[in-house]
Amino acid sequence: MAGEPDEDAYVEDEGELIDWQLSVAFAKSRHAEKIEGSKTLTQSWRMKERMKTVSVALVLCLNVGVDPPDVVKTSPCARLECWIDPLASSPQKALEAIGSSLQKQYERWQPRARYKQSLDPTVDEVKKLCTSLRRNAKEERVLFHYNGHGVPRPTVNGEIWVFNKSYTQYIPLSVYDLQTWMGSPSIYVYDCSNAGIILDSFRQFSTQREQENESSSAGSSPRYNNSSCNSQASGVAAVKNCIQLAACRGNELLPMNPELPADLFTACLTTPIKIALRWFVLQNTSKLVPNLTQELVDRIPGQLNDRRTMLGELNWVFTAITDTIAWNILPRELFQRLFRQDLLVASLFRNFLLAERIMRSYNCTPISSPRLPPTYQHPMWQAWDLALDLCLSQLPKIMDESSNFKHSLFFAEQLTAFQVWLSFGSEHRNPPEQLPIVLQVLLSQVHRLRALDLLGRFLDLGPWAVSLALSVGIFPYVLKLLQSSARELRPLLVFIWAKILAVDSSCQADLVKDNGHKYFLSVLADPYMPAEHRTMAAFVLAVIVNEYPSGQEAALQGNLIAICLEQLNDPHHLLRQWLALCLGKVWTNFNAARWCGVRDSAHEKMYVLLTDPIPEVRAATVFALGTFISNATERSDHANNIDHSVGLKLVSVTQDGCSLVRKELSVALSGLILQFESQFSAVAYQFLEEERQREQNNPTIAAIAPDGSLPSAVSGSSMKYSTSRGSIKGLAISPILSYNSSGGSSYESSGSVENVPVFQDRLKRASSSSSLASLATPGYGNVYTNVWKCLLQLVMDPDPEVGDMVKRLVNSVNLKATTTARPKLMAKSTITSHSAPSSPSNRPPANMPQLPQLSETPPQATNFPGDVMVKAGEQTMSQRPHSGLPVGSQFRYSAQFSRSRKIFDKGPSILEDQEEETTRTSTKDSLVSTEFFQWCCKYFGQSVMRVSDDKDQESEPHHEREFRFMRNARVREEARLEQLRAGFNRLDDQVFINKNQSVPTVIKFHPYEPHLAVADREGISIWEWEQGTRTNYFFNQNPRHSRITAMDFINAHTKTLLLTGSDDGAVRIWRNYCGENEEQLELVTAWQALSDMLPSTRGSGLVMDWEQESGNLLVSGDVRIIRVWDTQTEMKLQDIPTGADSCVTSLVSSSMGKSLLIAGCGDGSVRLYDRRLAATECRVMTLREHTGWVVKVHLQRGTDGKIISAGVGGDIRFWDPRFTESVKHFQTSQGLTAFEAHPCRDVLACGSVNQYINIFNQFGDNLSTIKYHDGFMGQRIGPITCMAFHPHKIRLAAGSTDSFVSVYSTPDKRR
């Protein structure tokens, strides 16, 4: 009807909506990046050595009243020296007053230094002064201030002038001698005309010293001239570590303006605010401020060190501006050296920037060594002028009317500018020039809160921002703020410190030294703090205790363990994760913290987190429990019992679906192995003995062939091999014997774990009657056996990183087992029996089984297997001369103990020769490790405030995703036209054919890309079926004797991953499977989806059903259960018993309601399950009309969808879930090997072993029959092995035993 909505349009709209709302699986950080710490190289902000100017020499050569002969002064002329008129009193008094004033001016910047004045000195007086100060200063800095206004200008020969004793002559003083007397480190201030000549001479003499040192060190004998060489070398070092400030260049005279002081350079360096105000008044711009005079400026109220006053605020603004100019212009290293190493040097150089600005206006250019770039035209000087203007404009009213002083808006405006920069800031832009000002603002309570907020936002931009902030000197300020009790600062300070420690963890020592850790303990313990801030506090504390014993001790005293344990059940997952990591770090190799945890039952309280829905939390918990049992301290029964209980609990994590958790489990178990090396070695040896006995009893079970393959039949009987990697059932694993690729089985041991044979995937297979499960006899039922079997499972983990880690562990134990099991001479000929051990004083936990004796009966004294590893150059057993007696009667093994031996007894004493000692290897050398903790720390080094790319509508990933969704809608729209004529059209137009790498086992269309994935036994081919080319082929990494039986596309609507399942129960997820754009194939994750796959020659293998909407993966196969995995949590949701005695051959679930689950079984039954019900009640219906193997079950879309099933006998049946009998069926030919139904239209395809494909509609009408490939002499198609319909288009892909892959389509009407 016209008024009814278009059903197809509704479906399309729903599809588009679903694209945006569909969950994306395996897209977390743990899947997208390598688990490793940050490799960011932070800038070196911490000074290697802080210096202090401890001595100051004030050398004034004024000769008041007498002008030097080479200077012609103007009239009037500048006369003030240190703001004193020397002609206002007698020359001697004036000289002394000037000297005292200069000392006071310097004391303003460095009050604790030792000052010595030398007024109109002689050469000897200068020498005595300099050598005395250097001797007292030792390795600290000495300042030499030279005022040469009363002596001739420096000479080009490198001389400055002083006086003789009678002041009748000017005496030259060589700069070369001055270098020698002053030593290093030193700073020189030259306030005289032509001062640049001194810098040039200083540089020349430095070069001369270097040359002299090189020539003397080359020509002198080190035996006799060692002292002279050392003194010369120190002289060279002296000149390299010297700083110089000169008032002008070598060809310039000092300004003589009578409105300025004569020592203008000194005034700028020591009284910057006073000279800056005076110079401002002299400028034309000052006329904008009425009634402003120099006398009024000199009366500005306040103190320089009180920021609440006008004078103090001006000084504060001046410090911020000069610091900012220097930081923005100077190289970082030079800035650190001049502005952060020494307080006096920093003050002088800040004031030097002012000197350059003022003196350049009088055609005089101050210079320095090291040389600074020009700063006198920096834009920040305009901000200084504005601040002066606004302050001084208030001065007349303040002085005349006593009105209140209005504080400058300079800092508020600069914070606003910084905030604007943050709105558009990035690493690729110039750094914000206001950053040093933010540092200054932290000193003010008025602006502190806003400054901390902006600073935190800046640090959040990334490690580069943290490095910049540290280089500008933010560290001591934020460290001092930890002493504040203001609650409003807590979130900001915790955030800032989290950012700092994420980039530079060395700050932990500073925090502990200043008791800063107590601040974060109080934040973590505060229940009113938001979880995000408590998380950051936990992170900071975890870094403080990380590999830092002093931090561990301080945190333990601060009750960190109890604080963390109280919050383990917090709903915020990141907090739970960092609480576990913090606990794991605090008791790492710290026995006091471990026992504190034992008293609080920390390990038992953490068990609940082993089933946490967040994989990172589970991994952090395993990490913490692993460090808990890895403390290598003296053992006691109580400690052993605790370790055993934790070890047994960790065994349950073996089947975790997240490889991140299993990696941490490997590291945790390595700690247990480290504690109980000998016990694990004995267990490994017993496992070997069991296998050897089985091989003797069952000689038909052949060893691995030299080429690494297993024989298909032995002694005329076909063998059945278990294909389960994750289960020990059906596997006879040799924990000691292993084979290399060449098939050799004898090895030489060099005592190195690297030389131990590594486990290969080609493992010996045995029948289920001789599995490792049979080893669980009373003699084996202890913690060591359980952990050992857990390790043997992990050796075969589908994730290669997990498998490699555990192989290293197992091989290290194997090496110890082989070396300790070698024959040794007994110290006594007889062994006395021991009585049974008494009960330990500390009872083990209730959930841990009582440990039985290691072995009920001693192993028989028989030959050790021939594959035992021996030392290089040592004879093997077969090569050694025999004495006629059995080996067992010649030697006794160290593994032989009395029947009632105590479990922790070291056994009988033995005599070990030197050769035995060299072969003994400890597992300490083979402990495995991960960078999980460092990877977790990296989270705080990245931006946490920035909108994620998924939510940022302007980001490139968002635009890419939007493009894909538009493409998806277009594909669905084009496919809908094909679907309209699908039910009555032929489907035999071959649009693609190519030969696959091997016989296809599974085939799958990508819903939106022209990709066809074809799996054979061990690899996957990716075909671009529209172009007819293969883009990639890769191996699935499943064991050699297993095969791929299931495959699907994950996240097909966006960035697609490829899901594969093999008949050993393992599932793997692949990224970049297409091989396009030179992207490297990546294994995203892999886990053992089914751990108990039953041995079968013709089983169904692993069958899967992927639910993109819910992120659930349903798996079954040669087992008696259907397992549901939640891929978001990477945990098993539920196990549904099938109730059948045969395998599951096909799985399908309802997309509506997520409750109906349908399984086709090998016994011909179709079983329906309701996932909402309990495991014993969930099977709601069993349909039994098929007489043989169910090839496939299909559930039609929609609320009233019918179930379609196909049996191997060729019968196709339609079911209504409301009835127990089929509502319709029709018969095809016998030998059905593949069956597919189109997801959107009623088109059915049946592939037969008889080399043809029939296409039917839902009424049973035969639409097409495909028997031959296209062409005049078309080849007959092979027996069909697999088929698949395109999810939207009417395309059918088929693979056959002749390795050909074909794609068929409906006829193109446009031809």
Q: Does pLDDT of 982 surpass 90?
A: no
821: closest CA among 680, 917, 681, 926? 681
Q: Does pLDDT of 273 surpass 90?
A: yes
1102, β-bridge pairs: 1117
Which is more confidently placed, 223 or 1188? 1188
Distance separating alpha carbons of residues 886 and 900, to the nearest angstrom: 26
- Give residue 240's pLDDT: 65
Q: 896 pLDDT band (50/70/90 cuts)?
A: very low
> What's the start-to-end Cα distance of the chain, in Å?
34
Mean pLDDT, rounded, of the chain: 81
Of the listed ranges 252-266, 536-550, 869-883, 1169-1183, the one predicted with least confidence: 869-883
Find the helix or strand (DSSP H, E) in which 147 lies. Answer: strand 141-147
- Give residue 632's pLDDT: 63
Length of the chain equals 1311
Distance separating alpha carbons of residues 645 and 647, to the nearest angstrom: 5
pLDDT tens, residue by residue, 517-574? 999 999 999 999 999 999 999 999 999 999 999 999 999 999 999 999 999 999 999 9
Which residues contact residue 573 at a Cβ distance below 8 angstroms, ignoring those fewer than 6 apart?
A: 612, 613, 614, 616, 617
- Give residue 694's pLDDT: 84
pLDDT tens, residue by residue, 282-293? 887 666 677 778
Distance separating alpha carbons of residues 1066 and 1046, to the nearest angstrom: 10
The secondary structure of residue 1072, as a DSSP letter, is S
Q: 1097 pLDDT band (50/70/90 cuts)?
A: low
CA distances from 39 to 42, 64, 495, 585, 931 (A): 9, 64, 22, 21, 12
- Give residue 890's pLDDT: 36
Q: 1096 pLDDT band (50/70/90 cuts)?
A: low
CB 865 within 8 A of CB 797: no
- Please give the radius of gyration of the chain, using alpha carbons only, rounded to the nearest integer: 42
Beta pairing class for 748-749 and 870-871: parallel
497: closest CA among 512, 482, 487? 482
| Structure-block tokens of residue 1097 | 């020659």
Of the listed ranges 591-595, 598-602, 743-747, the one predicted with least confidence: 743-747
- Give residue 319's pLDDT: 94
The secondary structure of residue 87, as a DSSP letter, is G
- Give residue 821's pLDDT: 63
Q: Does pLDDT of 1229 surpass 50?
A: yes
Residue holding tokens 């691995």?
704
Q: pLDDT over 70 for what percent of the chain?
A: 79
713, β-bridge pairs: 718
Burial of 485 (0-12, 13-18, 19+ CB in 10 A): exposed
1061, β-bridge pairs: 1046, 1067
1127: closest CA among 1101, 1155, 1147, 1106? 1106
Burial of 452 (0-12, 13-18, 19+ CB in 10 A): buried
- Give residue 906's pLDDT: 38
DSSP SS3 for 952: coil
- Residue 670 CB neighbour total at 10 angstroms: 24
CB 610 within 8 A of CB 654: no
The secondary structure of residue 1204, as a DSSP letter, is E
- Give residue 757's pLDDT: 36
pLDDT tens, residue by residue, 11-37? 444 444 478 888 899 999 999 999 998
The structure's pTM equals: 0.82
Q: 889 pLDDT band (50/70/90 cuts)?
A: very low
Q: Does pLDDT of 5 surpass 70?
A: no
Which one-letter amino acid corresponds to residue 283? Q
pLDDT tens, residue by residue, 844-868? 444 433 333 333 333 333 333 333 3
Distance separating alpha carbons of residues 690 and 923, to the nearest angstrom: 24
Q: 398 pLDDT band (50/70/90 cuts)?
A: confident
Distance separating alpha carbons of residues 972 and 443, to the nearest angstrom: 63
- Residue 401 CB neighbour total at 10 angstroms: 7
pLDDT tens, residue by residue, 73-128? 888 899 999 999 999 899 999 999 999 999 999 999 999 999 999 999 999 999 99
DSSP string, 1188-1201: S-EEEEEE-SSTTP
In 3-state terms the chain splits into helix, strand, coil percentages (rounded to 5) of 40, 15, 45
Helices marked H in 184-244: 196-219, 226-240
- Give residue 230's pLDDT: 47
pLDDT tens, residue by residue, 151-170? 999 999 999 999 999 888 99
- Give residue 581's pLDDT: 97
Whether the link from the prior residue into 185 is cis, omega within 30° of 0, is yes
- Give residue 428's pLDDT: 81
Q: Does pLDDT of 911 surpass 60?
A: no
- Give residue 1271's pLDDT: 65
Q: 48 pLDDT band (50/70/90 cuts)?
A: low
pLDDT tens, residue by residue, 608-659? 999 999 999 999 999 999 999 987 677 788 889 999 999 999 999 999 999 9
Distance separating alpha carbons of residues 961 and 950, to the nearest angstrom: 9
Beta pairing class for 1112-1117 and 1019-1024: unpaired
- Give residue 898's pLDDT: 36
CB 618 within 8 A of CB 653: yes
Q: 232 pLDDT band (50/70/90 cuts)?
A: very low
- Give residue 1240's pLDDT: 86
Question: Within 13 Å of residue 210, how many CA atoms lie on the same side as its CB?
Answer: 9
Which one-letter amino acid corresponds to residue 890? Q
DSSP string, 365-414: --EEES-----TT-THHHHHHHHHHHHHTTHHHHHHH-PPPPPPSHHHHH
In the chain, DSSP finds a helix count (H) and a strand count (E) of 39, 42
- Mean pLDDT across the stretch 950-963? 81
Q: Residues of 757-783 as b/e, b for ≥16 C-beta within 10 angstroms? A: bbbebbbbbbbeebbbeebeeeebebb
Distance separating alpha carbons of residues 415 and 417, to the nearest angstrom: 5
DSSP SS3 for 297: helix
1116, β-bridge pairs: 1103
DSSP SS3 for 24: coil
- Give residue 223's pLDDT: 43
Distance separating alpha carbons of residues 410 and 1123, to the nearest angstrom: 67
Distance separating alpha carbons of residues 388 and 380, to the nearest angstrom: 13
Distance separating alpha carbons of residues 192 and 59, to the nearest angstrom: 12
Q: Does pLDDT of 1138 surpass 90?
A: yes
- Give residue 586's pLDDT: 96
Phi-psi region of 233 (alpha: psi -120 to 50; beta: other; left: phi over 0): alpha
Residue holding tokens 């807590």?
490
pLDDT tens, residue by residue, 1043-1078? 999 999 999 999 999 999 999 999 999 999 987 766
Q: Does pLDDT of 697 surpass 60?
A: yes
| Structure-block tokens of residue 115 | 């000052």
- Give residue 461's pLDDT: 92
Distance separating alpha carbons of residues 31 and 1098, to the nearest angstrom: 35
Q: pLDDT over 90 for what percent of the chain?
A: 55
Q: 1273 pLDDT band (50/70/90 cuts)?
A: low
620: closest CA among 661, 669, 591? 661
Which is more confidently placed, 1080 or 58? 58
**Angle between helices 932-941 and 573-586 in degrees, nearest 10:** 130
CB 1194 within 8 A of CB 1148: yes
pLDDT tens, residue by residue, 179-229? 999 998 999 999 999 999 999 999 999 888 888 888 877 665 444 444 444
The gap from C-alpha 548 to its chain's centroid, in whole angstroms, comes to 20
| Structure-block tokens of residue 564 | 């963390």
Q: Phi/psi of residue 277, each to 5°?
A: -65, -40
pLDDT tens, residue by residue, 333-391? 899 889 988 899 999 999 999 999 999 999 999 999 999 999 999 999 999 999 998 88
Q: Does pLDDT of 304 surpass 90?
A: no
pLDDT tens, residue by residue, 420-462? 999 887 778 888 999 999 988 998 888 999 999 999 999 999 8
Q: 724 pLDDT band (50/70/90 cuts)?
A: very low
Which residues contact residue 837 at a Cβ distance below 8 angstroms, ignoring those fewer than 6 apart?
A: 902, 903
Distance separating alpha carbons of residues 807 and 763, to the nearest angstrom: 13
61: closest CA among 122, 130, 144? 122
DSSP SS3 for 981: coil
CB 759 within 8 A of CB 684: no
DSSP string, 702-740: PPPPTTSPPPSEETTEE------SS--TTB---SS----
CA distances from 517 to 75, 538, 560, 891 (A): 66, 11, 10, 60
- Give residue 226's pLDDT: 46
Q: Phi/psi of residue 1066, each to 5°?
A: -95, 145
196: closest CA among 160, 242, 145, 238? 160
Of the listed ranges 132-146, 390-404, 1248-1262, the one predicted with least confidence: 390-404
CB 1148 within 8 A of CB 1206: no
Q: Does pLDDT of 1105 surpass 90?
A: yes
